[in-house]
Amino acid sequence: MENKNLSLFEAASIIAGLGIGGGIMAVPYLASLSGLIPILLIFIFAYGLSLLLHLMITEMIMREKRTLQLVETFSLYLFNNKLGIYFTWLFFILVVLNFYALLAAFLVGGGQIIVNLTSIPLGCAELIVYVFAAGPILFGLKALGISEKIGIVGIIILVMILVIGAMNVPFNSLIMLSFSSKGALALYGMIMFTLSCFFSIPQVAKGLSHNKKLIPKAVILGISINLILVSLITIVTLLVSSDVTEMAMIGLGNAIGQWAVYLGAIFIFLAILTSYWATSYALAVVIKERLNWPYKLCWLCATAPTLLLALSGVSSFLGFMRIAGGLLAVIISLMVIPSYRASKVHGQIKNPEFKLKKLSHPIFQGAVVAAYILVVIGSSIAIK
């Protein structure tokens, strides 16, 4: 199934699936530290800058005849001197560590949901999540696309049901203009992290190689789905929850009713699965491309350590998410823009099917770098 084509919605679902789990669970808690107007402005600001970065990566990838993962793309454009091999391996290690932290966060988050419903030991719950999360990606890109499509459709349906259910609950009075620089930066960092799906863009480009004009459309659609779902859940959670927790769906379900608690658990499980699928597949392909190992061995290397990390109890769910977000921001802010600039000069395809044109101006490139430097700051801020 590895070489089969993706549909537009399957490709967009892979993009949306990579970030949806962490954001929906973590953003509402950080949003509760700010007023409604700052929250909305931060969402808009983060969406615009994140989308710009993703489209730069899309153009950069489409300038090569062969679809490369980001590690190999950066190696091609940045690490092409005598020391390049060492920098490539260093970057590869950073990516692997980042993904391990991210995937462990999904297992911890899913495990906490199961524990909340069943009271079984957390370690057993994390093992259950791992079994369901790590399985489908064994079957390749098309299986990933189909799984993500089903998962995203399920998430959309559940969000709509929860939103309708929240309409029957008395709303909280929201503070409109409350603002703190620490809370706003922490929220901004998490939203940017939630919308960061760039490691899935090579998978989308490969799956849509039969119609390359669909690639940027899939990226835009996927990130937009992500934004709409996360913002809906955030606003509804703030309106009805008496206590917004780090795992926001717990408080939201308790506020609406017992049925919503169980529905919310299904929702979170789907969100965990979609995020784990997209992220672990991207990591498995990165490992395969760098080490040239058999895919199943790369799958094992991409998933098994995340279970061990989750079982170790090293950090809380939000702790894992913010650690991963900080590492991710460092990587992107340092690598993407110089690689993008080099690709416009040295790329094999001078006139790809998609170009940013005026939005590729150095002013916008500088804005993206500044945006991700802020993510680093936001991820390092103590919020308790």
Q: What is the pLDDT of residues 233-269, one digit of tens each?
A: 888 888 887 777 666 667 777 788 888 888 888 888 8
Residue 56's pLDDT is 94
Lowest-confidence segment of 93-107, 111-125, 231-245, 323-337 by average pLDDT: 323-337
Residue 246's pLDDT is 67
pTM of the model: 0.88
- Written as six digits, the tokens of 250 are 């717990």
Give per-residue pLDDT as tens, 308-367: 988 887 666 556 665 666 666 667 767 889 999 999 988 889 889 999 988 889 999 999
Q: Which residue has the tokens 């700052």?
A: 38
On whether the CB atoms of residues 243 and 32 are closer than 8 A, the answer is: no
- Written as six digits, the tokens of 322 are 């913010």
d(CA 76, CA 202): 15
Taking every pair of Cα atoms in the chain, the longest distance, rounded to a whole number of angstroms, is 65
- For residue 59, what pLDDT band results from cuts at 50, 70 and 90? very high
pLDDT above 90 covers a percentage of the chain that reads 38
On the CB side of 234, CA atoms within 13 Å amount to 30
CA angle 239, 245, 246 (to 5 degrees): 125
pLDDT at 42 over 90: yes
Residue 161's pLDDT is 93
Residue 245's pLDDT is 67
Residue 166's pLDDT is 87
- Written as six digits, the tokens of 236 are 């509804």
pLDDT at 380 over 80: no
92-118 mean pLDDT: 83
What is the enclosing helix (H) or strand (E) of 41?
helix 36-62
Q: DSSP character for 351?
A: S
Residue 228's pLDDT is 93
Residue 323's pLDDT is 62
149-169 mean pLDDT: 91
Of 384 and 209, the one with more pLDDT: 209
**Among candidates 25, 319, 22, 269, which has minimal Cα distance to 131?**
269
pLDDT at 178 over 80: no
- State the DSSP string of 210-251: TSTTHHHHHHHHHHHHHHHHHHHHHHHHHHH-SS--SSHHHH
By CB atoms closer than 10 A (0-12, 13-18, 19+), residue 350 is exposed
- For residue 3, what pLDDT band results from cuts at 50, 70 and 90? low
H helices of the chain, where? 8-31, 36-62, 70-77, 84-118, 122-134, 141-166, 181-194, 201-207, 214-240, 248-256, 258-291, 295-312, 317-346, 362-380
On the CB side of 306, CA atoms within 13 Å amount to 33
By CB atoms closer than 10 A (0-12, 13-18, 19+), residue 129 is buried
pLDDT at 96 over 80: yes
